[in-house]
Amino acid sequence: MYDGKKLTNEVGAPIPDNENSITAGPRGPVVMQDVWLLEKMAHFNREVIPERRMHAKGWGAYGNLKVTGDISKYTKAKVLQPGTKTDLFIRFSTVAGERGAADAERDIRGVAVKFYTEEGNWDLVGNNTPTFFIRDVHNFSDLNRAVKRDPRTGMRSAQNNWDFWTLLPESFHQRTIVMSDRGIPASFRNMHFFGEHTFSFYNDKNERVWCKFHFLTQQGIKNLTNQEASEVCGRDRESHGRDLFESIERGDYPRWTMYVQIMTEEQAKNHYENPFDITKIWRHKEFPLIEVGVLELNRNPENYFAEVEQSAFTPAHVVPGIGFSPDRFLQGRLFAYGDAQRYRLGVNHNHIPVNRAKCEVNEYHRDGAMRVDGNYGRMPAYSPNSEGYWSPQPDAAEPPLDLEGAMYRFDPKDDPSDDNFRAGGELYRLMTEDKRKLLIENTAADIASVTDNVKYRHAVHCYLADKEYGERITKAMGLDLERVKELSKLDNNGLIEATLNP
Ligand code: HEM
């Protein structure tokens, strides 16, 4: 396809030789005058851009969402109206590993989807778990420092990881998921993914409901054991990327069925748990899954850097009919992504083709590094202006949201309804014996190098969630069950006090 492209310099002048430097004599030194050589070296030195602070290793694909169900009574979003088909770009990632990390590691998987809707881009930036480790933005940078490299050794540290996790009991459910068989998916195609947070929908009448997004794999769930994963990593660090790429190349297009859960504002007020706490789930029996449509991936990117590395997603990008929620963790994310991308890619990153909306964009920003379109030419740069440019669109306003309570640093643990072990215990009891066995073995292997005080904290959390879970993990970690039982009588502060480093 590219045959016949003749080499030029960066501004189109022909290059006569791309292999032999200009030297002073056949065996002499290189001269400054070889400007093409200088250009090549200088460009090369600047080819690496910062990697994403987390979710650095990832793979992308294009596809579409076809809406087969009817949720129009909840949302006016055009992308979710019956029969609509919308193009999308997706990026799958691991979280802790750097850009060169192996795919088949025990970790959660990020799944970010950019829907190019006719009302602007809608980004759903989720993971393959329905819940998360933490629930306050304050803990986010610490979570990443704990799971990434230790400042002294430059190595990943199970001690840091488990120390941090077990000091935050709200991470228990997610810890159980990551240590379960689902902690290492066999491929991106063989896992579900979720928006995790509570978002909102509002309809034509400006009536709001709360919602959660679920995408269930049509390929079936498949996972790797630790042993299988270490064999895969030894053979192929790009196993998940390769699987995705090759399946799309051979026309075996992966699909997920999209569902939503709906909670009314009234139900939310009376719910027995905080419905805006990301570490809590909405139980399917109480809030059934409503089918929305099918997400299919059917085209590979042409260029990894241009399309995958330069893609930029943010939960702040929603479209009319879809809104945020009071989830304090989501609120923090609304700032973090754009800020990271202004640093990682530059202030005009939304002009990069993979990020660019397919509909008309009139944000009237000006200038900035790498502004490569017409920069809005002679149109006014300020608003309001007497020419009527850049007039707002009041129809797109979200319905008002009543708030209550004082402004304060509320600790969710002070809320009597806050039970951090219930969902993890329910999950354990749902597991078949072979899954429970794997959970215990995986945890014992992962935590093996960690000090006993931290192991006790985890054992106590397991015991509080389910006695059998606690007893089995205690035995597998070689701890004293009587001490676990004693420690489980303490409140969270007491447990922390009793398990600080000796
Ligand atoms: C307060 C909490 C969080 C903060 C501050 C945060 C921040 C970030 C930042 C700064 C990036 C890198 C963005 C870039 O360089 O383009 C990122 C990536 C990502 N985050 Fe979060 N994050 C948070 C929680 C979450 C949660 C709860 C999820 C899942 C529901 C999630 C899913 C992702 C995904 C999938 C990516 C990779 C996006 C891509 O493929 O480009 N994050 N996050």
Q: Which alpha helices (DSSP H) does 186-321 contain, by range?
A: 226-235, 239-249, 265-270
pLDDT surpassing 70 at residue 1: no
Note whether 52 and 95 are within 8 A (CB).
Answer: no
Note if the pTM is more than 0.95: yes
Q: Indicate the SS3 state at residue 310.
A: coil
Give yes or no for a contact between 103 and 237, defined as CB atoms under 8 angstroms apart: yes
- Percent of the chain exceeding pLDDT 90 equals 98
CB 312 less than 6 A from any atom of ligand 1: yes
Specify the residue with its C-alpha closest to ligand 1, atom 4.
Answer: 333
Q: How many angstroms is it from 133 CA to the middle of ligand 1? A: 13
Cα dihedral: 401, 406, 410, 414 (round 10): -100
Confidence of residue 2 (pLDDT cuts 50, 70, 90): low
CB contact burial 114-137 (16+ within 10 A = b; e otherwise): bbbbebbbbbbbbbbbbbbbbbbb
Predicted confidence at residue 4, as pLDDT, reads 80
The question of whether 128 is a catalytic residue gets the answer no
- Supply the mean pLDDT for the chain: 97
Q: pLDDT value at position 404?
A: 87
What are the structural domains of the chain?
53-134+185-358 (2.40.180.10), 420-498 (no CATH)
Q: Reply yes or no on whether 127 is catalytic.
A: yes
pLDDT digits (tens, 9 = 90+) for 456-479: 999 999 999 999 999 999 999 999
- Catalytic one among 64, 127, 139, 348? 127
Tell me the per-residue pLDDT of 245-297, one tens digit each, with 9 for 90 and over.
999 999 999 999 999 999 999 999 999 999 999 999 999 999 999 999 999 99
Would you give the distance in Å from CA 263 to the centre of its chain? Answer: 23
The residue-averaged pLDDT of 119-133 equals: 98
What is the Cα–Cα distance from 15 to 79, expressed in whole angstroms?
A: 48
H-type alpha helices, 255-388: 265-270, 328-344
> pLDDT tens for residues 426-455?
999 999 999 999 999 999 999 999 999 999
Contact 279, 171 (CB under 8 A): yes
29 CA to centre of ligand 1 in angstroms: 50
CA of 117 to the centre of ligand 1 (A): 22
Q: What is the structure's pLDDT at 112?
A: 98
Nearest CA, atom 27, ligand 1:
132
